[in-house]
């Protein structure tokens, strides 16, 4: 169902996908459809539309979670549209497809994770073979990490020994 076919009371879906944040879906209803507006202002009409009916935009006021929200202009003949980090549609089927596509993209990234970790490890080994300075720096980093780990273990042992000495001293 295209945006022009939506009317008051029609369901409306807003999928928000901001980088680094959990995606959210808001489901609302159309409260009001604002009159169609030309997609291009006079003087900015591309020559392809000269003498033709130019594309129209429609704007909605949607009630979501008890609040009214004005949705940006959407192409009247479209079924789904993206504006910035948000996807808008009045079609349940279109939002299901958008959510499915989002999930498939993320699953593909997860599936590539093990391969990427393996590639980085192999790359480090290869760099050690072809670049002795890289190998020396990696070995030095490993030695530092080992020393830090030992120091942490010794600190824990000293803390435990101190606690035991305190208990023994308290009993005497």
Q: Rounded CA gap, 74 and 97, in Å?
A: 19
User: What are the residue boundaries of the structural domains of the chain, listed by start?
Assistant: 3-104, 113-162
Residue pointed to by tokens 């995606």: 23
Taking only the tens of pLDDT, the chain with its 172 residues reads: 889 899 999 999 999 999 999 999 999 999 999 877 666 665 555 555 555 566 789 999 999 999 999 998 999 899 999 999 999 999 999 999 999 999 999 999 999 998 999 999 999 889 888 988 988 888 898 899 999 999 999 999 999 999 999 988 888 7
- Do residues 104 and 64 lie in contact, with contact meaning Cβ atoms separated by under 8 Å? no
DSSP 121: H
Residue pointed to by tokens 């009045």: 90
Q: Rounded CA gap, 126 and 118, in Å?
A: 12
Q: Is the pTM of this model over 0.95?
A: no
**Backbone φ, ψ for residue 10 (5° rounding):** -70, 145
CA distances to 26, 73, 100, 147 from 57, in Å: 22, 6, 27, 65
CA angle (129 as vertex; 126, 130 as ends), nearest 5: 90
DSSP 125: H
């Amino acid at each position: 169902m295209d945006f022009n076919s939506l009317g008051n009371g029609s369901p409306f879906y807003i999928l928000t996908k901001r980088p680094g944040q959990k995606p959210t879906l808001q489901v609302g209803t159309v409260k009001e459809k604002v009159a169609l507006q030309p997609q291009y202002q006079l003087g900015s009409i591309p020559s392809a539309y000269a003498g033709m009916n130019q594309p129209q935009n429609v704007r909605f006021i949607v009630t979501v979670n008890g609040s009214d929200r004005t949705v940006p202009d959407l192409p009247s003949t479209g079924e789904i549209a993206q504006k910035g980090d948000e996807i808008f549609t009045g079609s349940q089927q279109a939002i299901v497809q958008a959510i499915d596509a989002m999930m498939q993209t993320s699953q593909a990234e997860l599936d590539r994770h093990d391969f990427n970790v393996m590639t980085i490890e192999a790359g480090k080994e290869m760099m050690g073979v072809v670049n002795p300075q890289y190998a020396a720096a990696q070995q030095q980093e490993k030695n530092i990490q080992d020393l830090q780990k030992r120091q942490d273990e010794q600190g824990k042992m000293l803390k435990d020994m101190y606690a035991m000495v305190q208990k023994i001293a308290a009993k005497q």
